[in-house]
Amino acid sequence: MTFIAFASFVLLAACIFVITDALECYNCPSISNTHDCNTTAVCAVGQSCFLKTFENGGGSFSLGCISNEKCTSTHIGSSAIIGRSTLTKETRDSPTCHECCSRNLCNADLCQHQLPSDCIDDPNFDCARMNSVLNICQSTQQAKLVCPNFCGLCNIVDGHWADWSVWSGCDVTCGNGEHSRDRTCTNPAPAHGGQDCTGLNADRKTCNNNPCPLHRGWSFWSSWGSCSVTCDVGMMRRDRSCSNPYPGIHGNPCFGDARDDAICKEMANGGWSDWESWSACPVTCDVGLRSRQRFCNNPFPSMLGQYCQGKSDDYTVCNTKPCKSRVTF
């Protein structure tokens, strides 16, 4: 059986079993400091001392007698603890606590173990015997609750959270963002092997501002259109639209031109027409020449185009029949 289980059993048994001798307990229904309670009450048979801590200021402690049947988690609730040795750090740091004990005037120090005024071992435990049997000093967080002096744990300081910082401003100027706040484990800071604070050191919550303006944007340019002429110098055009994206509320319009014009140069090289028919032979005998022509107009060359390559005239011999000779006296 572990130390924790054994201690839980001892204290649970002390709380549930019928007490034959009536206990004397501190009895203050509402008080801000348990050590200021000077009123006592003699409990009835079957009752134990108890202390209950209430959340939120004013008189935050209630001390007195309570039925042993109510010293169980069934009656007290899920956060209830029976017996001081079974308390965890998280339970002691909780703003609410309910503990029972079964010895005279024991309820002044219940729910107060995280900040003891004196480093005193629990008189219900034989620390030397417990350590020899169960090695309780090896469990620092449990041993400091019942045997802090014997185990040399008086200088342990568990960390506690400082107050939260104020909420920051929203981290965006429009749309959805976040506020943030932080806290530090410095009230006090953990020391000498004490436990660190549990929980988050940062907190966030959503903040909503006015919707962000959606500014217009240009689409991509369209492809260039065809040139306005088939030769020489002309113009060609391309377009774009203010639709990437379309403007939203309070958005800026597109700046610039939706149309773009550019000079285009269409060059046409010249081409030859068909050859004309051959001309008549200029002589009726002997050797003559006949000709034919073609023109660089199929098509005409443009201003920047090349002229046709080659000759525009062609010649061939004609009428090779010899002329008759004349006799002269």
52 found inside a domain: yes
3-state DSSP assignment of residue 30: strand
Report the Cα 268 to chain-centroid distance in Å. Answer: 64
The reply to whether 194 and 294 lie within a common domain is no
pLDDT digits (tens, 9 = 90+) for 82-129: 344 334 444 444 556 778 888 888 887 776 554 444 677 877 778 888
Does one domain contain both 175 and 194? yes
**CB-CB contact of 167 with 183 (8 Å):** no
In a domain, 141, yes or no: no
Number of H helices, E strands in the chain: 5, 12
Total domains, the chain: 4
Same domain, 87 and 69: yes
- 77 conformational bin, left if phi > 0, alpha if psi -120 to 50, beta if neither: left
The C-alpha atoms of residue 86 and residue 150 are separated, in whole angstroms, by 19
Residues 127-180: tens digit of each pLDDT? 888 888 888 888 887 788 788 888 888 888 888 888 889 999 888 888 888 999
Residue 132 falls inside a structural domain: no
Burial of 184 (0-12, 13-18, 19+ CB in 10 A): middle
Question: In this structure, what CATH number is given to the domain that contains residue 306?
Answer: 2.20.100.10
| 11 and 107 part of one domain | yes
Whether 166 maps to a domain, the answer reads yes
147 domain-assigned: no
**Do 23 and 85 have their domain in common?**
yes
Write the CB contacts of 226 (distance below 8 Å, at least 6 apart in sequence): 236
Residues 181 and 222 in one domain: no
Mean pLDDT of the region 250-274: 83
Question: How large is the average pLDDT for residues 70-86?
Answer: 48
Whether residue 27 is found in the same domain as residue 42: yes
pLDDT in tens, 3-40: 444 444 444 444 444 334 688 999 998 888 787 888 99
257 within domain boundaries: yes
**Tokens, residue 113:** 């173990």
Residues 196-217 have pLDDT tens digits of 888 889 999 898 877 787 777 8
**CA dihedral for 36, 39, 45, 46, sign (positive or negative):** negative
**Do the bridges between strand 288-293 and strand 259-266 make them parallel or antiparallel, or are there none, so unpaired?**
unpaired
**Spatial separation of the C-alpha atoms in residues 28 and 60, rounded to whole Å:** 11
**Residue 152: predicted pLDDT:** 86
- State the angle between helix axes of 3-16 and 127-134 in degrees (0 to 180), rounded to the nearest 10: 130
> CA geometry: angle at 13 spanning 7 and 17, to 5°?
160
- Domain range for residue 328? 275-329
Residue 131 counted as domain residue: no
Considering the domain boundaries, does residue 125 fall inside one? no
